[in-house]
A and B are shown apart, each in its own frame.
Chain A
Amino acid sequence: MATSSVSKGCFVFRPDFKKRKVSVPIEDYFNKGKNESEDSKLRFETYRLIWQQMKSETEQLQEELNKNLFDSLIEFLQKSYSGFQKNSRNWGYQTKLREIPTAALILGVNVTDHDLTFRSLTEALQNNVTPYVVSLQAKDCPDMKHFLQKLVSQLMDCYVDVKSKEEERVQVTKKKTHYSMDSLSSWYMTVAQKTDPKMPRKKRTTSSKWQSPPVVLILKDMESFTTKVLQDFIIISSEHLHEFPLILIFGIATSPIIIHRLLSHAVSSLLCIELFQSLSCKEHLTTMLDKLSLLEHFYSQPLSVLCCNLPEAKRRVNFLSDNQCENIRRLPSFRRYVEKQASGKQVALLTNERFLKEETQLLLENLHIYHTNYFLVLRCLHKFTSSLPKYPLGRQIGELYCTCLEKNIWDSEEYVSVLQLLRMLAKDELMTILQKCLKVFKSSSEKLLGSTAKKIQEFLAQFQSLDADAKEEEDASGSQSKGLPKTDLYHLQKSLLEMKELRRTSKKQTKFEVLREKVVNFIDCLVREYLLRPETQPLHEVAYFSAAHALREHLNAAPRIALHTALNNPYYYLKNEALKSEEGCIPNIAPDICIAYKLHLECSRLINLVDWSEAFATVVTAAEKMDANSTTSEEMNEIIHARFIRAVSELELLGFIKPTKQKTDHVARLTWGGC
């Protein structure tokens, strides 16, 4: 599957909210409006399977990435408190300021989902350091009171968790309205004392290694906290530090300078800050895009049943219905393929189901081979390009992949410049790259490109043998530079020109240069042979997704445009035939707000409410075929007036207009552009 391979090159957060939303009605959704023959159920199952597989892969990847960071963090936390306990009798310890151990965790702006990281961090800390891990968000803590309230309630929850594990009954008086640091630290003392004597020193688990396990407080978004709350809290807790062992973790999205900007020197001197930086996140959202495209793909392409691993696909081909066979025949890529075949075969392909199925199996197999080769060569090419200055083909393998998918890469200017640059590489650079490539080819279990691997090995061997020859060559070049005979200026010039001419024509390439040329040509051939666009492959529709624009629509919500469409053309969303109208005219049975909106589009910046109301009434009464002279018209007018007022206030709520004081009985438009 194309997508799973790409996901190895980058990492991304599993969009589990999307999954939840989607997975409940998804099966029905797949079925709805599709005829049974399209195997929607099977397609859905396959989709689910691949999704699961990808999900676990990305999760694993993310765990690995976080592991380093967490390990160092945990080490810091453990050290900071074991130090406290060890030195408590020391002279230095007694005179030194007590600082709150603080970890500044820089996560970067691009990491969209810090929550996930923090959740796994909390878990890791609870398993390794202390049961008391609390995390707070700025929006919950506008002032000290709320800050402490949140802190205490979360702490008590932690406490209950611990207790329930130890199967003890405790009554926690949660309904305390006023929290202070005093009550908090006294609560902590009782808890710490309670847990302490029950467990003999030897039997203690790692989680309660210390006499009093520290309390870890994670501030998820340091930037958003107000200075006052933070400063006050730090001052207070530093005074209680000896009875309430606190560790702070600041989650920082931008840069650590924010600490100095938020906290005054007097306060930051109470902290002992160490910095932890998560990996610079070169993450793209590719995996997520992959997943979405997966959904769309399975939904819209009936033939995607075949998009699974090879043996399974072959089996399924045998069970294809007539209808599905017809679908295959309709695929543009398949048609192109058929056209290229001999005429007898063409007929057979188009009429004989059995023959078609066999041919399809063959084609699918080819597609798989193409795919594996494609990625091997792609990675190989990436090894070459990623070491070049300025990265003409992008730094990440993902970028390279995108360019390759879009067009034939060898037609691009960048590719030409890459080859030029490759021709200038030094020997040791070239050799390391080749070694890397060899590793790529060897890592794959497929022996498809075995000959290529062998070829690379040969190249390497030749380069090594060059080393031996190099000495001789140096000697030869040294003898060339013989001194010029003493002559006058004219002759000197002449002879120099001659020499230059000579050198240009008969410039002998060194062995290394010849070999380098060979390597570059070899890579070029590889690329041209294997990095064909997927569209060139027959049956590529089965496995490749091309409707990226549909995805873009799903991902890039455009609220303004959607709102405009909804109000301007209600048929688009409501699908009521009566609302279908020509461009520019107002269907009079449209919802009131649509009518008001359309009328307001015709106005300039200030709208006269009376005019607007009259226009509204005209449109509406035309709809109701009201006789203006009828007896009930007075009442009707009032109703219409009320409807108008409601529409106007709805528009105000949506932010299209606002009341203004510039002119009486006018409202101001907040958007521009007419209909």
Chain B
Amino acid sequence: MPHLENMVLCRESQVSTLQSLFGERHHFSFPSIFIYGHTASGKTYVTQTLLKTLELPHVFVNCVECFTLRLLLEQILNKLNHLSSSENGCPTEITCETFNDFVHLFKQVTKAENLKDQTVYIVLDKAECLRDMEANLLPGFLRLQELTDRNVTVIFLSEIVWEKFRSNTGCFEPFVLYFPDYSIGNLQKILSHDHPPEYSADFYAAYINILLGVFYTVCRDLKELRHLAVLNFPKYCEPVVKGEASERDTRKLWRNIEPHLKKAMQTVYLREISSSQWEKLQKDDTDPGQLKGLSAYTHVELPYYSKFILIAAYLASYNPARTDKRFFLKHHGKIKKTNFLKKHEKTSNHLLGPKPFPLDRLLAILYSIVDSRVAPTANIFSQITSLVTLQLLALVSHDDQLGGPKYKCTVSLDFIRAIARTVNFDIIKYLYDFL
């Protein structure tokens, strides 16, 4: 089929495997096929084009979209129903609650004239979501041919290997097909394939070559690369449009585009700057350095006491509770770090991450680090709660445990130092790790 080869590039072996698995229209095919491979390795595209061009009756369902069992099953049935009765107008909506119902209804639907004598394909994209649904679902789909006694094949598409799917009971082993990552040559070929009509294929291929040279080390995602290619192409064409260089003047073109692409790698690729902003910058020919990326906005404005609460929480999270005496009592006496601590406490607390602490300890530290007297008012408590909703603190204990809730401080050292600086509090002096 020459037609198909033009549409699916660099996946010849997979296509032929699938084609031979499918066999003739009326042949029973393998009950379930499991296709896996990395992001953007053409799983969905190949399956979809194959089923479409061969005009096989099929249903394509995205499992992320069907977040409940009922949605998933109904969608499959309704789509099938649509296939079977395309002539006689709008079919009625089928409702289906359980897998058992599904099997019955499936039998009924596939009785239709145009589905009867050929293999029906059900494709479940993002099949890894099935694992989070009802336990009987995955084994059921794997054995659908057996359960319904119909000529049906279920195709699973996933980015995860089959071993991670296998549950302990009733699993039928599917035919596993691996889609390897595209090699750089493959990428080059595929990306060059969709060149813009106003430029020659060679010119675009040269551009893709440069693009891959810059991006291949960090990104092998075909979709992303294609997106970047389109975004930056106008910049590449610029000298040609202005008449400063010819299409063959590769060196000059390269010198023009290379720094631009490197900048793109630090900004657009990381989504620090949105593509529309990038395009606008490109059009206005301004320096992308001027636009601040998302991560540049680190400043967080907090109410006065919230800052101290956060500082107290940080201290409580990273200091061992036994050292509180040393930091917050006036006459604590000298405590030497080496003898004082148990062995496991000698590792840096900052390497171990924040530890949970009870509310009372937080308040106790708060009272001793704030200069003025703080009453335990609703004000303070509500600020603690709002810090939790801002995800600067995390509630560790269960929500309805009223007595002694426990928290963790989730902010980084740099962040807390910035906060402490605004209230003139030298936090390093109070941290056990930096003693």
Contact of B277 among A265, A274, A277, A559 (CB under 8 A): A274
Judging by beta carbons under 8 Å apart, are A254 and B392 in contact?
Answer: yes
At the interface, yes or no: B188 with Cβ under 8 Å from chain A? no
Contact indicator B274/A99 (Cβ below 8 Å)? yes
Q: How many angstroms from the CA of A556 to the CA of B373 in the assembled complex? A: 14
Contacts of B300 in A (CB 8 A): 109, 254-255
Given A236-B65, A274-B274, A274-B277: A180 and B301 within 8 A (CB)? no
**Which of the 9-residue segments A17-25, A89-97, A443-451, A589-597 touches chain B?**
A89-97
When chains A and B are docked, how far (Å) is the Cα of A97 from the Cα of B279?
Answer: 14
CB pair A273 B294 closer than 8 Å: yes
Given A254-B390, A266-B39, A655-B403, decide whether A95 and B226 contact each other with a Cβ distance below 8 A.
yes
Q: Nearest residue in B to A232 (C-beta to C-beta)?
A: B64
Which of the residues A109, A223, A280 comes within 8 Å of B306, measured between beta carbons?
A: A109
Q: Give the complex CA separation of A277 and B292 in angstroms.
A: 12
The chain B residue with its CB closest to the CB of A223 is: B391
In the complex with contacts A91-B196, A91-B197, A109-B375 CB distance below 8 A: no
Q: Across the interface, which residues of B come within 8 angstroms of A272, CB to CB?
A: 274-276
Tell me the A220-260 residues at the B interface (CB within 8 Å).
Answer: 221, 223-224, 232, 235-236, 239, 253-260
In the complex, are the beta carbons of B294 and A275 less than 8 A apart?
Answer: yes
| A436-472 contacts to B (CB < 8 Å) | none
- Residues of chain A lying within 8 A (CB to CB) of residue B238: none
* Contact for A558 among B75, B194, B378, B392, CB less than 8 A: B378
Task: Give A539-560 as 1s and 0s: 1 = Cβ < 8 Å from B's Cβ atoms.
Answer: 0000000000000000111111
**Set B74, B226, B294: member contacting A257, Cβ < 8 A:** B294
- Do residues A280 and B65 form an inter-chain contact, with CB atoms below 8 A? no
CB distance from A150 to the nearest CB of B (A): 14
Q: How far is the CA of A275 from the CA of B297 in the complex (A)?
A: 10
Contact of B301 among A109, A232, A269 (CB under 8 A): A109
Interface check B227, CB cutoff 8 A: yes
Q: Is the CB of A92 within 8 A of B230?
A: yes
A647 on interface, CB distance cutoff 8 Å: no
Least CB distance from A657 to B in Å reads 9
Contact at B297–A106, with CB atoms within 8 Å?
yes
Contacts of B233 in A (CB 8 A): 92
- Which size class do A's interface residues fall under? 35 or more
Q: How many Å from the CB of A15 to the closest CB on chain B?
A: 15
Which B376-391 residues have C-beta < 8 A from chain A?
Answer: 376-379, 381, 386, 389-391
**A residues 269-308 with Cβ under 8 Å of B?**
269, 271-275, 277, 280-281
List the B side residues contacting A280 at CB < 8 Å.
Answer: 301
Return chain A residues, CB-CB under 8 Å to B378. Answer: 556-559
Q: Mask for A86-121, Cβ within 8 A of B = 1, else 0?
A: 000001100111010110101011100000000000
Question: Chain B, 300-328, contact with A by CB distance < 8 Å: what is the 0/1 string?
Answer: 11110010000000000000000000000
- Select from chain A the residue with minimum beta-carbon distance to B295: A257
CA distance A91 to B196 in the complex (A): 6
CB contacts under 8 Å to A, within B382-413, are 386, 389-392, 402-404
Output the nearest chain B residue to A106 by Cβ-Cβ distance.
B297
| A670, CB-defined interface residue at 8 Å | yes
Complex contacts, A236 vs chain B, CB 8 Å = 62, 64-65
How distant is B416 from chain A, measured CB to nearest CB, in Å?
A: 14
B231 located at the interface, meaning its Cβ lies under 8 Å from any Cβ of chain A in the complex = yes
**Is B298 within 8 A of A257, CB to CB?**
yes
Asked whether A561 is an interface residue with its Cβ less than 8 Å from the other chain, the reply is yes
**A209 interface contact, C-beta 8 A:** no
CA distance A143 to B133 in the complex (A): 14
Determine if B231 and A96 form an interchain contact, defined as CB atoms under 8 angstroms apart.
yes
Question: Does B71 have its Cβ within 8 Å of any Cβ on chain A?
Answer: yes
For A257, list chain B residues within 8 Å (CB): 294-295, 297-298
Chain B residue with Cβ nearest A224 = B389
Q: A96 vs B226: C-alpha distance in the bound complex, in angstroms? A: 7
- Taken together as a complex, chains A and B put the C-alpha atoms of A440 and B397 apart, in Å, by 57
Least CB distance from A281 to B in Å reads: 7
Instruction: Report A-chain residues with C-beta under 8 Å of the C-beta of B196.
Output: 91-92
Q: Give A445 to B224 CA distance when docked, in angstroms.
A: 64
Give 1 or 0 for each of B50-82: 1 = CB within 8 Å of chain A CB.
000000000000101111101100110000000
Closest beta carbon of chain A to B147's beta carbon, Å: 24
Residue of A with least CB distance to B376: A560
The answer for the CA separation of A268 and B269 in the assembled complex, in Å, is 10
Q: Is B299 an interface residue (CB 8 A)?
A: yes
B295-A110 in contact (CB<8A): no
User: B62 contacts which chain A residues (CB < 8 A)?
Assistant: 236, 239
What chain B residues lie within 8 Å of A239 (beta carbons)? 62, 65
**Residue of chain A at shortest CB distance from B383:** A109
**A255 in contact with B297 given A145-B68, A182-B75, A670-B404 (CB within 8 Å):** yes
Contact flag A556-B379 (CB < 8 Å), given A110-B301, A266-B39: yes
The answer to whether B230 touches A95 (Cβ under 8 A) is yes
- A223 and B390 contact, CB distance less than 8 A: yes
Q: How far is it, in angstroms, between the C-alpha of A259 and the C-alpha of B293 when the chains are bound?
A: 12
Nearest-neighbor residue (CB-CB) of A76 within chain B = B276
B58 to chain A, nearest CB (A): 17
B375, A561: Cβ atoms closer than 8 Å: yes
B379 neighbours in A (Cβ, 8 Å): 555-557
Q: Is B271 an interface residue (CB 8 A)?
A: yes
Contact of A144 with B67 at beta-carbon distance under 8 Å, contacts A224-B391, A274-B276, A280-B301 already known? yes
**Does any Cβ of A come within 8 Å of B131's Cβ?**
no
A329 at the interface (CB under 8 A from B): no
Task: Look across to chain B and name the residue whose beta carbon is closest to the beta carbon of A672.
Answer: B360
In the assembled complex, B27 has its CB within 8 A of some CB on chain A:
no
| Distance A560 CA – B376 CA, assembled complex (angstroms) | 7
Q: When chains A and B are docked, how far (Å) is the Cα of A561 from the Cα of B376?
A: 8
The distance in angstroms between the C-alpha atoms of A83 and B298, with both chains bound, is 31
Q: Are B70 and A232 in contact (CB under 8 A)?
A: no
Q: What is the chain B residue whose CB lies nearest that of A101?
A: B276
Could you tell me the distance between the alpha carbons of A97 and B226 in the complex, rounded to whole angstroms? Answer: 8
Q: How far is the CA of A592 from the CA of B276 in the complex (A)?
A: 69
Q: How far is the CA of A658 from the CA of B402 in the complex (A)?
A: 10
Residues in B whose Cβ lies below 8 Å from that of A223:
389-391
Distance (Å) between the CB of B382 and the closest chain A CB? 9
Residues of B within 8 A of A526 (CB): none
Considering the complex, which residues of chain A in the window 367-399 have a beta carbon less than 8 Å from any beta carbon of chain B? none
Q: Given A180-B75, A255-B300, does the pair A221, B389 have CB atoms closer than 8 Å?
A: yes
Least CB distance from B401 to A in Å reads 10
Q: Are B271 and A268 in contact (CB under 8 A)?
A: yes
Q: Whole-angstrom distance from the CB of A141 to the nearest CB of chain B?
A: 12
Interface centre among A91, A102, A178, A561 (most CB of B within 10 A): A91
The interface residues of chain A lying within 8 Å CB-to-CB of B294 are: 104, 256-257, 259-260, 273, 275
Contacting residues, chain A, for B263 (C-beta < 8 A): none
Query: Once the chains are docked, how many angstroms separate the CA of A79 from the CA of B277?
Result: 12
Contacts of B66 in A (CB 8 A): 180
**Residues of A contacting B391 with CB < 8 Å?**
223-224, 254, 258
Give every chain A residue within 8 A of B67 (Cβ-Cβ): 143-145, 232
CB distance from B279 to the nearest CB of A (A): 9
- Give Cα distance in the complex from A241 to B224, angstroms: 18
**B223 located at the interface, meaning its Cβ lies under 8 Å from any Cβ of chain A in the complex:** yes
- Can you report 27 residue pairs joining A to B where beta carbons are below 8 Å apart? A80-B276, A91-B196, A91-B198, A92-B196, A95-B229, A96-B226, A96-B227, A96-B231, A102-B274, A110-B302, A144-B67, A145-B68, A180-B66, A182-B75, A223-B389, A223-B390, A236-B65, A239-B62, A239-B65, A254-B391, A255-B298, A257-B298, A260-B295, A268-B271, A269-B224, A272-B275, A658-B403
- Known: A79-B276, A271-B274; 4 extra A-B contacts, CB below 8 A, are A104-B294, A144-B67, A178-B70, A223-B391
Residues of B within 8 A of A (CB): 39, 62, 64-68, 70-71, 74-75, 194, 196-198, 223-224, 226-227, 229-231, 233, 270-271, 274-277, 294-295, 297-303, 306, 375-379, 381, 386, 389-392, 402-404
Listed in ascending order, the chain A residues whose CB lies under 8 Å from chain B are: 79-80, 83, 91-92, 95-97, 99, 101-102, 104, 106, 108-110, 143-145, 178, 180-182, 221, 223-224, 232, 235-236, 239, 253-260, 265-266, 268-269, 271-275, 277, 280-281, 555-561, 655, 658, 670
